[in-house]
């Protein structure tokens, strides 16, 4: 048995499954669950922190195994984007990101504040740890304890869901602009943590 003791709340696990279902359909999601030998994942109450990092990681791995590395990557990115939409419904008002006062802030302020409150959400409500570092040109989203690649080894970064999630967060935050978002370090590859590097200036 694994000694995993880190978890997401059930609510967040459900958001991942919903996002996955939106992208690959219910049949696809069920195939992933059975391939990864994951049974009923959503039995306990929404706020309980019982959705294990091991499960989150297995879901990602199963996507790659069933759809191939490239196909799985694309689907994980899209799953991440879908997760943001469900996540903002669930957590948006708590984070203060859906209030008009926030919406009216200039983009650099929104990026700065948004990154911090989004990181706080993970740090306070999950066992995932995120540290935000900012330079003049970039935001570095360091996932210091990452569920996506939990106990995995890989040649390339594999936390694509986080990339998709942040892409969609930035799109939403900026009112429809597209940003360069890339995973530049990954724990699964032997890096100290998983780092998603975001260019502060939008591409479009």
By the criterion CB under 5 A, which residues form the site for Zn ion? 146, 148-149, 159, 187, 194
Q: How far is the CB of 95 from Zn ion (least distance, A)?
A: 22
Q: How far is the CB of 152 from Zn ion (least distance, A)?
A: 8
Burial class (CB in 10 A: 0-12, 13-18, 19+), 163: buried
Nearer to Zn ion, 99 or 156 (CB): 156
DSSP symbols for 98-151: TSHHHHTS-HHHHHHHHHHHHHHHHHHHSS-EEEEEE-SSEEEEEEEE-STTTT
Residue 172 to residues 11, 44, 107, 128, 149, Cα–Cα distance (Å): 21, 31, 11, 23, 26
Q: How far is the CB of 5 from Zn ion (least distance, A)?
A: 17
Nearer to Zn ion, 83 or 146 (CB): 146
Nearer to Zn ion, 95 or 185 (CB): 185
In 3D space, the residue among 199, 201, 204 whose CA is nearest the CA of residue 182 turns out to be 199
Q: How far is the CB of 45 from Zn ion (least distance, A)?
A: 27
Nearer to Zn ion, 115 or 149 (CB): 149
Q: How far is the CB of 13 from Zn ion (least distance, A)?
A: 17
Give the helix/strand (H/E) hosting 61: helix 53-95
Contacts of 192 (CB under 8 A, 6+ apart): 185
Nearer to Zn ion, 146 or 169 (CB): 146
């Amino acid at each position: 048995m694994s000694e995993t003791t880190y978890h997401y709340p059930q609510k967040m696990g459900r958001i991942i499954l919903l996002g996955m279902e939106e992208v690959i359909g219910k049949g696809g999601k069920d195939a992933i669950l059975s391939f990864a030998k994951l049974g009923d994942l959503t039995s306990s109450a929404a706020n309980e922190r019982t959705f294990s990092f091991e499960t989150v990681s297995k879901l990602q791995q199963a996507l790659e195994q069933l759809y191939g590395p490239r196909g799985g990557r694309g689907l994980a990115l899209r799953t991440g984007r879908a997760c943001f939409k469900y996540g903002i419904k669930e957590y948006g008002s708590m984070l203060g990101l859906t209030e008009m006062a926030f919406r009216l802030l200039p983009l650099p302020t929104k990026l700065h504040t948004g990154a911090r409150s989004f990181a706080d959400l993970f740090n306070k409500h999950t066992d995932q740890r995120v540290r935000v570092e900012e330079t003049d040109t970039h935001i570095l989203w360091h996932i210091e304890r990452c569920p996506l690649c939990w106990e995995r080894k890989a040649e390339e970064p594999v936390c694509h869901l986080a990339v998709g999630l942040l892409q969609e967060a930035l799109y939403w935050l900026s009112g429809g602009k597209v940003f360069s978002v890339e995973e530049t370090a990954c724990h699964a590859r032997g890096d100290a943590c998983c780092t998603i590097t975001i260019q502060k200036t939008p591409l479009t």
